[in-house]
Structure 1
Amino acid sequence: MPRSDSNAADANSLARKNAAQQYGQAERGRGPHPLPLFWQLVHAEVKDDAARRARVMAAVRRYQDAPRAAPMPPPDVVAEDGGTRLLSYGGGEGRAVVFIPSLVNPPDILDLDEERSMMRWFAARGRRVYLIDWGTPAAAERAYDLADYVLRIERLLAGLGRPVVAGYCLGGTLAMAVAARGGAAALATIAAPWDFSGYTDERRDGLAAFWQRTKPIAVPLGSVPMNMLQPAFWSLDPGAPVRKFEHYAAMAADDAEARRFEAMEDWANGGAPLTLPALADTFEGLFGGNKTGHGEWRICDVPVTQDAIKVPWVNFISSTDRIVPAAAAPRSPDDRHVACGHVGMVAGSRARPLLWEPLDQWIRSL
């Protein structure tokens, strides 16, 4: 017999909850996550090229089985607000410099290893360097939207006076809000999105469709795990996951760059769940409505605009970024275009001359 509308609704609700439980379980082993969707990307990219497919599959297995280096000494925790911590890397006695990573993925990409740690390099240059680690949202924090995270940053920075604030990716968007609200002495933005009309309609429509599919599954969880979000980032450059594993396949087993690839891939597949309101702000308010680009983003009922930023501001824009294309970046009094990708500009082999050193020189000039 056909089910009633009520029974059908109950069945749909149960199916969503079951799917949410599946996504919410910790994935076994290392990434790429979710692996079935990754293999779909591989098949779409390589088509009937069996040799290429085998090469990518072997590279993924190699990555999964590779030993990991011992972790570096952890930085000191100097302040906490809920699940978020302010980490200190030491350094000199001058004005504090606080780095704000994206809400997505851990902050590790700014502290990758001894040679590619942006944080430890700045500390060695005599900077008093801090890094925000967003941590895992507790139950009481699951109602946090992007404005709440800006207010959290301001509370963590309260003991530092008005520091220099440097934001990477979505952390740069949040850093702009901190500066616009008077919480920073100077601002640096790195691969930060602001004008979301700079994304193509195809990309924005694809992300909107992804969010409409994902939101009903995520609601029973109360937050969104990274393995559910990863396909959204893959969709911005669908060929990139395949190309990077092909590049890794060509590296020697004892190559330091192979170790860094493994560390970067662990970072890309890691991260705590994100709150539903913060993601709704991102997908609906930013990508969907371009609230920042239109001057409609508000915190405590006050608009947050580029024009409200009155402090010295340098803006590093990647000219080859597919995660945050140059057209989506804000425009500052001091825009600097970097010929490096979204991750490479902060942790790649050319990060030091292209970003770290120019940023250090700019801070010295304040």
Structure 2
Amino acid sequence: MNLPPFPFDPQRAQAEMEAFRRKLEAGMEALKRVGPIELGTTPREAVYTEDKLTLWHFKGDTPPTSKTPLLICYALVNTPWMVDLQEDRSMVRNLLAQGEDVYLVDWGYPDGADRWLTLEDYIDGYLDRCVDAIRARHGIDALNLLGICQGGVFSLCYAALHPEKVRNLVTMVTPVDFHTPDNMLSHWARNVDIDLFVDTVGNVPADVMNFAYLTLKPIRLNQQKYVGLVDILDNPKELENFLRMEKWIFDSPDQAGEAFREFARDFFQKNQLMSGEARIGGRPIDLKNITQPVLNIYAEQDHLVPPAASAPLGDLIGSDDYTALAFQGGHIGIYVSGRAQKLVPPAIHTWLADR
């Protein structure tokens, strides 16, 4: 079989190599000018601390107009600073600009002393005491709760256990049905001997979790983004944005072993939110106890929490005031994309203000 000659233009190849060399050279100079990469840029103060946990209260440019504070409950598997990544990509800053009074649970970095922390310790312990601290500061009976990803599952469980302390509930990219066919992470988790794994490693290293997430989209997350880095090497602002995202991804906490075991077993493997068999500290989680207004926000291109995993929530809760909001984007884009900044915080504020 005679193949056509491979078209090769030496002069064009030389020009491309020279352009690549210049871009690398400019990139080295740009890297020298990039200062320390900071996450969490909005002014804040610690209003409650316990063990590794810090409860932050954010300060906006103007006093809040909302009379009910909003507590953000993030996942354990990453630091919470994706919601306050940088000044022009901050859900927190935009919520403050809308007039919300924003608090955030920062779970911290577990170590060997936290090996036996359970979901009860996190949800009915730490989270409950954060809620009580805010209620005491404001002299109120109930606050607004915003749960994100795994933090959304925590928030659902918390609202079911303590409905009297939650006025309105907002969930973002929160899984409810962990057994949808398109849930790649669930397929992986369901085939792991969780007991053997946790009994062997104790606390789950952050590097193991990061590896698991990266292998869900290995080409995109391990190759393409670094190839694409070449295109922005000579743009200091874009380069700094890239490095900031990399810092957030790889500055992840380890996972307290017992809580990881319970979450993986009861939710990923047994899908107990759907079956109604979930229990926290022996107490049943009855989502029908959630009768307050609920706003459920999900991302249409989310590969970690696909829309089908979030959609069943409305049928499981007891509330007559349920709103679903679909965002055209991915699991991370829903916090940091320019489109998300314009749409998501105003949608949350408007929904809360109407109630």
TM-score, L = length of structure 1: 0.76
Please report how far the alpha carbon of residue 82 of structure 1 lies from its aligned counterpart in structure 2 after TM superposition.
1.8
Deviation string 1:205-263 (CA, Å, 9 cap, x unpaired) is 42344x44x87576465311211111221233333303333443333532534322221
Instruction: Choose 233-242 or 153-162, whichever is displaced more.
Output: 233-242
Contact 2:183 2:303 in 1 (8 A): no
Report the Cα distance in structure 2 between the residues aligned to 1:219 and 1:86, rounded to whole angstroms: 31
- Shift of the 222–310 alpha-carbon distance from structure 1 to 2, 3 Å rule, reads same
**Secondary structure, counterpart of 1:119 in structure 2:** helix
1:34-73 equivalences under 5 Å are: 67-69=34-36, 71=38, 72=41
Closer/same/farther in 2, CA of residues 305 and 264 from structure 1, 3 Å limit:
farther
Aligned with residue 197 of structure 1, among 165, 179, 184: 179
Tell me, yes or no, if the aligned pair for 2:153 and 2:175 is still in contact at 8 Å: yes
State whether structure 2 residue 293 is matched by structure 1 residue 312.
yes
Instruction: Give unmatched runs, 5+ long, in structure 2.
Output: 1-16, 136-141, 315-321
Secondary structure at 1:193 match in 2: coil
Q: Secondary structure at the match of 1:250?
A: helix
Q: Does 1:175 align with 2:164?
A: no
Superposed counterparts of 1:1-366, under 5 Å: 67-69=34-36, 71=38, 72=41, 75-90=44-59, 91-92=63-64, 94-151=67-124, 152-161=126-135, 162-181=142-161, 182=163, 183-200=165-182, 203-209=185-191, 211-212=192-193, 219=199, 222-241=202-221, 242-251=223-232, 253-254=234-235, 256-329=237-310, 330-332=312-314, 333-366=322-355
Cα separation, partners in 2 of 1:199 and 1:141, compared to 1, 3 Å: farther
Give the CA deviation at 1:80.
1.4
* CA positional deviation for 1:74: 5.1
| SS of residue in 1 equivalent to 2:54 | strand
What secondary structure sits across from 2:330 in the alignment?
A: coil
Cα distance in 1 between the residues matched to 2:103 and 2:237: 27
- How far the C-alpha of 1:85 sits from its partner, in A, is 0.9
Unaligned runs of 5+ in 1: 1-50
Aligned counterpart, 2:14: none
Q: Could you report, residue by residue, the CA deviation over 1:261-309 in whole angstroms, capped at 9, with x for unpaired residues?
A: 2211211111221111121123222111111221111124232233221
Name the SS of the counterpart of 1:198 in structure 2.
coil
Q: Secondary structure at the match of 2:338?
A: coil
C-alpha separation in 2, matches of 1:202 and 1:271: 21
- Count of residues in correspondence between the two structures: 307
Distance 1:278 1:111 in 2: 26
CA positional deviation for 1:103: 0.7
Residues 196 and 328 in structure 1, CA contact (< 8 A), matched pair in contact too? yes
Q: Per the alignment, do residues 205 and 324 of structure 1 end up closer, same or farther by CA in structure 2, a change over 3 Å counting?
A: closer
The one-letter amino acid paired with 1:82 is: D
Code of the residue aligned with 2:133 in structure 1: it is: G
The superposition leaves residues 57-84 of structure 1 with CA deviations (integer Å, 9 ceiling, x where unpaired) of x8xx98xx67344533652100112211
Distance in structure 2 (CA, Å) of the matches to 1:309 and 1:237: 35
Name 2:6's counterpart in structure 1. none
Q: Secondary structure at the match of 1:311?
A: coil
The two structures have a TM-score, normalised by structure 2, of 0.78
Please tell me whether the aligned partners of residues 83 and 138 of structure 1 are also in contact (alpha carbons under 8 angstroms). Answer: no
Query: In the alignment, residue 355 of structure 1 is paired with which amino acid?
Result: V
Contact 2:143 2:167 in 1 (8 A): yes
RMSD across aligned positions (CA): 2.8
- Any conservation in 1 of the 2:145–2:170 contact (CA below 8 Å)? yes
Distance 1:201 1:115 in 2: 31
Taking the aligned partners of 2:308 and 2:230, their CA distance within structure 1 comes to 33
